[in-house]
Amino acid sequence: MEHPKLEQVKTLNKIYETLLNKIDDVGVHVINDVGKTIIYNEKMMEIESLSREDVINKDFLDVFMFEDGQGSTLLEALHEEKEFRNQKQTYFNNKGKEIKTINHTFPIYDNGRVIGAIEIAKDVTKLEQLIRHNMQRRGNTRFTFDSIIGNSPAIQEVIENTKRATRTPSSVLIVGETGTGKELFAQSIHNGSERSSAPFISQNCAAIPDTLIEGLLFGTKKGAFTGATERPGLFEEAEGGTLLLDEINSLSPMLQAKLLRAIQEKSIRRIGDTVERKINVRILSTMNEDPIEAIANNRLRKDLYYRLSVVSLFIPALRERKDDIFLLADHFISKYNHLFHMEVKGLSAEVIHLFQSYDWPGNVRELEHVIEGAMNLIVDEEIIEPIHLPYHFRNKSQSPHLNPVVSVHGSSTEDKAQTLRNLKDYLHEAEEFYIKKALHRHDYHITNTAKELGLSRQTLQYRMKRLNIGTK
């Protein structure tokens, strides 16, 4: 029989191995004190297009190549005891394939002695492809004022003000809860303006790490940092046109200051460059929280706010213009009738009532999703009934309200009459409900909501994305 201690070590090793391989959003690479690879997880294999056999027990520099003058963060961590955070790196594997990562890298100490180094890597090759893909998509702005549906005085007033803003190149700040149509308004401004034939470029400031967004906005000079290529930023790409900066309040204070400078000087400098480049770009920005509150909480620089909000548009939440719900519902029913080859005629009286009494935290986007979801459930009925709506509507509550999870014993008759749902679906719905509730409490402020739910910002955003809450 094996020594119990040895068995424990083996079990622990198995746990570490599984853990490392199941962490599937970052690569993990560990080298020992002589620079040989001892840990290499599956995600790292994917990022670097290598197999474990290619690297394990091999000298790091036998496997990877770096451009002249560019060292490896992992070896620098080992030999020079340096630590890196969010360090961008470009290198090549032994098959000549270029790899781009953003790394956290640090030495491992044992009793004050360096015994190895760890690299935790995010794959930027994919992220950059995604960004490029986004930029290509950016070319075609679809929306004009004709796309904005709504007859209520509240929305009509904003539409009027927005139309006036098409005549000038002034900055416009668009404030509204998630799903209220900020992007729609921004595109309508661009398409209604003299700049309509020039580019419209939109960038979400919350979706991309700070380290990348700076280069993305202002461009980079070759060699400005490890792996930097000569590339224009979005300011240059939007030349003559419009740049929409989405969720401006999530930019770091450093970048807000840089942005302010660019707007004031009407010129930018690529990272690492000394050349000033004149820009002629109209800046539109959006926020989903009250700017005054954002300033008070240091999420928005006051001076930047004044620059961005030469014109401010406040888009009302759907619950503040309930009459528009039915116009919008009809619009979405027509849209999906067309897309799904259906002939749905409208909403039942009960659904109308449910829609009226609901407060629509996800606004127009949520309404569209509810209609699309309902039309997926319809077989040959002509009218959308409560049965086609998400669970919280069918539950006939004023706002989304799940049966409390504690009622497992089915104490009420209603509980008994209901067929029990698949646990996964139920948990899914419970999660959606709870996240929406928390978001609503915090006016859709991600950081505060995440804090209350005990999640990281990223985890919350991931879950919102998965549940289709307030994402694009």
Ligand X SMILES: Nc1ncnc2c1ncn2[C@@H]1O[C@H](COP(=O)(O)OP(=O)(O)OP(=O)(O)O)[C@@H](O)[C@H]1O
Q: Pick one of 364, 371, 439, 446: the residue that binds ligand X (CB under 6 A).
A: 364
Segment contacting ligand X by CB under 6 A, of 181-189, 277-285, 377-385, 453-461: 181-189
Residue closer to ligand X, measured from CB, 29 or 365: 365
- Tokens standing for residue 321: 């213009």
Residue closer to Mg ion, measured from CB, 104 or 457: 457
Q: Is 361 in the site for ligand X (CB under 6 A)?
A: no
Q: Is 470 in the site for ligand X (CB under 6 A)?
A: yes
d(CA 371, CA 221): 48
Residue closer to ligand X, measured from CB, 176 or 199: 176
Residue 440 CB, nearest distance to ligand X (Å)? 14
Q: How many CA atoms lie within 13 A of 140 on its CB side?
A: 3
Segment contacting ligand X by CB under 6 A, of 50-58, 180-188, 389-397, 433-441: 180-188
Query: What burial class does residue 184 get, using C-beta atoms within 10 Å of its C-beta: 0-12 exposed, 13-18 middle, 19+ buried?
Result: buried
CB atoms within 10 A of CB 229: 12
- Tokens standing for residue 247: 């969720």
Handedness of CA 460, 465, 467, 468 (dihedral sign): positive
Q: Is 190 in the site for ligand X (CB under 6 A)?
A: no
| Chain centroid to CA 211 | 15
Q: What is the DSSP string of 205-264?
A: SSSS-HHHHHHHHHEE-TTSSTT---EE-HHHHTTTSEEEEETGGGS-HHHHHHHHHHHH
Residue closer to ligand X, measured from CB, 137 or 416: 137
Segment contacting ligand X by CB under 6 A, of 6-14, 172-180, 408-416, 431-439: 172-180
d(CA 331, CA 124): 40
Residue 349 CB, nearest distance to ligand X (Å)? 24
Residue 305 CB, nearest distance to Mg ion (Å)? 19
Q: Is 294 in the site for ligand X (CB under 6 A)?
A: no
Q: Is 189 in the site for ligand X (CB under 6 A)?
A: no
Residue 174 CB, nearest distance to Mg ion (Å)? 9
Chain residue whose CB lies nearest ligand X: 181
Q: Is 178 in the site for ligand X (CB under 6 A)?
A: yes
Residue 206 CB, nearest distance to Mg ion (Å)? 10
Return the closest-CA partner of residue 452 out of 434, 466, 465, 469: 434
Helix (H, G, I), strand (E, B) or coil at 293: helix
Q: Is 148 in the site for ligand X (CB under 6 A)?
A: yes
Residue 368's binding partner out of ligand X, Mg ion, none, with CB under 5 to 8 Å set by partner kind: ligand X
Q: Which residues bind Mg ion (CB under 5 A)?
A: 182-183
Q: Is 122 in the site for ligand X (CB under 6 A)?
A: no
Residue 434 CB, nearest distance to ligand X (Å)? 19
Residue closer to Mg ion, measured from CB, 48 or 183: 183
Q: Pick one of 116, 176, 219, 291: the residue that binds ligand X (CB under 6 A).
A: 176
Residues 248 and 286: beta-carbon distance below 8 Å: yes
d(CA 444, CA 40): 39
Handedness of CA 458, 463, 469, 472 (dihedral sign): positive
Catalog residues that contact ligand X under the rule CB under 6 A. Answer: 147-150, 176, 178-184, 288, 364-365, 368, 470, 472
